[in-house]
Chain A
Amino acid sequence: MIERKSIFKSIFEKPWEESQILKDNNHDGKALSMSGSKLGVRYIMLVSTVIFSLFIVSYSDRMLVHDWKNMPEPWLLWLNTLVLLINSYVFHKTKVFAYENDYTKTKKGLFISGLLSYSFLIGQAIVWYLLMKNGYYADANPANAFFYLFTALHGLHLMGGLIFWGRTTSKLLKSDNKLENLRHSIELCAVYWHFLLIVWLVLFGLMLFT
């Protein structure tokens, strides 16, 4: 395989030098050893990380003001967290099944993943409903507002992921027991679901401990 330098190392190359020219002529034009879609998913995860980090910074700045009142975390949130955790695990298993070429198990895995994701979203909606019923509105306190904001954004990210889950699943159903072209998509979905789990754990932990 072609040896890949990191981007930061490659900017020290001297493209006009004899030895470098010979190396460069053999270059296949890729900077990283991964597929374009994998890099794309990484890009999206990076942008999301920046967004959530900035929200966390804002949260930390805002919670220092005297009017901050912590919000209770309903027990349902723990259940939702568990659902998301299982969801992530199932997606991982699905990926493994896809690479083992086990069509039925992969199909089942994808269905269960989708089901768990939807139940997580419904669970979050119920949490919203319970909180609002008890008077914890967004404008009552910034802690509440941040809670709604975090859950809403995390939910939106999950819905975005579900679009790709839907595309992968429908391709799988049409694919006539073949998995070759789908493994990669399933793997990328799994990566994204792990990412969303980590984001949720960080956000939930932040709200729990402050």
Chain B
Amino acid sequence: MHDDNEYKIEAKSGVVSDTTAKGDADHLPPQEVPDQDLYHSHSWWTTYVFSQDAKYIGVQYALTAVGTGLLGLILSWLMRLQIAFPGLGILEPAAYYQFVTMHGMIMVVYLLTALFLGGFGNLLIPLMCGSRDMAFPYVNMLSYWMFVLAVLVLLASFFVPGGPTGAGWTLYPPQAITSGTPGSNLGITLMLVSLVLFVAGFTMGGLNYIVTVLQYRTRGMTLMRLPLTVWGIFTATVLAMFAFPALLVGGIMMTLDNMLGTSFFMPAIISMGEKLTTEGGSPILFQHLFWFFGHPEVYIVALPAFGIVSDLISVHSRKTIFGYRMMVWAIVAIGALSFFVWAHHMYVSGMNPWFGFFFATTTLIIAVPTAIKVYNWILTLWRGNIKLNLPMLFSLAFIVTFLNGGLTGLFLGNVTVDVPLSDTYFVVAHFHMVMGIAPLLVVFGAIYHWFPMVTGRMLDEMMGKIHFWITFIGSYAIYFPMHYQGFVGVPRRYFEIYDSPYMSVSGLHLNAFITIAALIVGAAQLLFLYNLIYSARAGKKSERNPWKANSLEWLTPEMPPEHGNWGKELPKVYRWAYDFSVPGAKEDYITQTTPPSAVLGSKVERS
């Protein structure tokens, strides 16, 4: 239908504008897709509570996730106090294991996954794609309330007899459901039900992200013109589509083992001197299912972080992202590879060494696309006009931290190195660095970056700087010593570690040091929360597009964007989001909606 205007303009290589000055270059085909029918709310309830607007849902998701995450933070404080000062007797052994489990599950699933995909996904996808809303706003609302229900069920497990499950966040059977493990009855059941609800809600969310990104973009917005943020979230959603079913399947079967006495995972067991009725089940099968979910889950959290940080670095160093195509390919490649590495979490489960060898190889291959990304971030910074503001500081901290955590991953990915290090604090240090601190730094950077878009106000810079330096240096104070502890053999999961022949004195002192650092870093997060609340009410008013970014979310007629995002007409897109510091252009940025005729004489850089 549009073939006739496709080659109207003869392209001279090199110069964008001279050829297009003749007029027709700004032409876009008329909008073919009819505008989306939106639900317009009429009451407070349907605007703020049962909202069908993706922006509100995004904020709802983010607030719920952060609220749950605060609980996870408090649990970690209590655990750290117990480890450092066992003499105080702060926690009973059962409580310690319950807190470990809840801390892990909350942080990985209910905080990070929900925040990146539910929060940033809902907020940014429609705005960055130039759509009015998600494809199915009603399903989107259901998705959020399903998540709330999952959180409530999870929290309810604190109040049932026996308390929440203490099986560790991996929930391995048979110990998760045999007596002797805290919460082996109601606690684990509620946990599994909550996870099933989460997966169900998440699948509805994913439906929206995928359909919106693929089918509801505005005119001129091709896939390869999308900001990398959308690429990261989109690919993570595709991963979730394949990974979360494994958790669902494992969860359902373990619930049945627990409630009906089936033996999917339960082998013949003699427990407390009595033979249980179960027989023949395979606990290893659960481990495979769990990690077939669990490893891609790492990338479900990491890929949106990669995408977001790429955009932050490009905007705040006023430079085109280095190797955009390579960045997209790396995201896709990491996503694909993440499904072939799961058993590297199971080297000590008694599997065949050749099997381990295979998984060690695939694990090390992932280092290639990941390294490409790190190099590209650094090359984007190279000779850029770097603004050392808060989003940039957090992005830089992310690169360093991710590199650190990634390097220890190379150690743990090798079977022979992993076996002695497995179940020590080295592992704890590794995964907290790479999928705890690193994505959280991106979350903070992203919040400082997009806060003006949501509230119309800037976050306080001074409080932000304090928050940054304490978080950045503090998290190294916490996790660097843990690597050392791991090397000298301090085991993880022990609820108290006293002076013993197996434990060097330095290990004990380090425990106290780590705990104090953890308390300080945690307190800094409260400052951050205060900053959020304070600035949302009384922060400095933000100008439109305060960071001079190119992508569509800053180009709405109103800021903060209104319901329906775009006023009367959807935006038209003429370029990608990375035209920064283009030679010959008046400003150092050319927004995605700037037609070619408006930037005559400028020559776009090629990478």
Please tell me which one of the listed residues A1, A13, A34, A65 contacts residue B1 in the complex, with CB atoms under 8 A apart. Answer: A1
Cβ contacts under 8 Å, B220 to chain A: 24-27, 29
Cβ contacts under 8 Å, A173 to chain B: none
- Are A39 and B215 in touch, CB under 8 angstroms? yes
- Are A40 and B207 in touch, CB under 8 angstroms? yes
- Residues of A in contact, count (CB < 8 Å): 50
A32 beta carbon closer than 8 Å to chain B: yes
- Are A54 and B217 in touch, CB under 8 angstroms? no
B16 beta carbon closer than 8 Å to chain A: yes
B88 beta carbon closer than 8 Å to chain A: no
- Take A22-B9, A62-B285, A67-B280 as given contacts and tell me if A11 and B215 are in contact as well, using a CB distance cutoff of 8 Å: no
Cβ contacts under 8 Å, B343 to chain A: none
Chain B residue nearest to A145 in the complex (CB): B262
Chain A residue nearest to B204 in the complex (CB): A44
Q: How far is the CB of B332 from chain A (nearest CB, A)?
A: 7
Cβ contacts under 8 Å, A11 to chain B: 223-224, 325, 328-329, 332
Chain A residue nearest to B26 in the complex (CB): A25
Give 1 or 0 for each of A16-38: 1 = CB within 8 Å of chain B CB: 11110111111111111011100
For the side of the interface on B, what is the size category?
35 or more
- Are B214 and A25 in touch, CB under 8 angstroms? no
Kindly state the separation between the CA atoms of A126 and B253 in the bound complex, as whole angstroms.
23
- Are A142 and B263 in touch, CB under 8 angstroms? yes
- Which residue of B6, B262, B264 has the most chain A CB atoms within 10 A of its CB atom? B262
Cβ contacts under 8 Å, A26 to chain B: 2, 5-6, 28-29, 220
A55 beta carbon closer than 8 Å to chain B: yes
Kindly state the separation between the CA atoms of A109 and B206 in the bound complex, as whole angstroms.
33
Which residues 118-161 in A have Cβ within 8 Å of B in the complex?
138-139, 142, 145, 149
Kindly state the separation between the CA atoms of A65 and B136 in the bound complex, as whole angstroms.
45
- Are B282 and A15 in touch, CB under 8 angstroms? no
Give 1 or 0 for each of B218-239: 1 = CB within 8 Å of chain A CB: 1111111100000000000000
Q: How far is the CB of B74 from chain A (nearest CB, A)?
A: 35
- The B interface, classified by DSSP as helix, strand, loop or mixed, is loop
Give 1 or 0 for each of B277-312: 1 = CB within 8 Å of chain A CB: 101111001000100100000000000000000000
Please tell me which one of the listed residues A18, A23, A30, A139 contacts residue B261 in the complex, with CB atoms under 8 A apart. Answer: A139
- Are A15 and B328 in touch, CB under 8 angstroms? no
- Are A15 and B576 in touch, CB under 8 angstroms? yes
Cβ contacts under 8 Å, B2 to chain A: 2, 26
- Take A66-B280, A138-B256 as given contacts and tell me if A55 and B29 are in contact as well, using a CB distance cutoff of 8 Å: no
- Are B241 and A43 in touch, CB under 8 angstroms? yes
Q: Which of B98-106, B242-250, B422-430, B515-523 contacts A (4 or more CB under 8 A)?
A: B242-250
- Are A31 and B29 in touch, CB under 8 angstroms? no
Cβ contacts under 8 Å, B596 to chain A: 21
Query: Which B residues have a C-beta under 8 Å from some C-beta of A?
Result: 1-2, 5-7, 9, 11-14, 16, 19, 25, 27-29, 31-33, 129-130, 135-136, 203, 206-207, 210-211, 214-225, 241-242, 245-246, 248-249, 252-253, 256, 260-264, 277, 279-282, 285, 289, 292, 324-325, 328-329, 332, 574-576, 596, 604-607
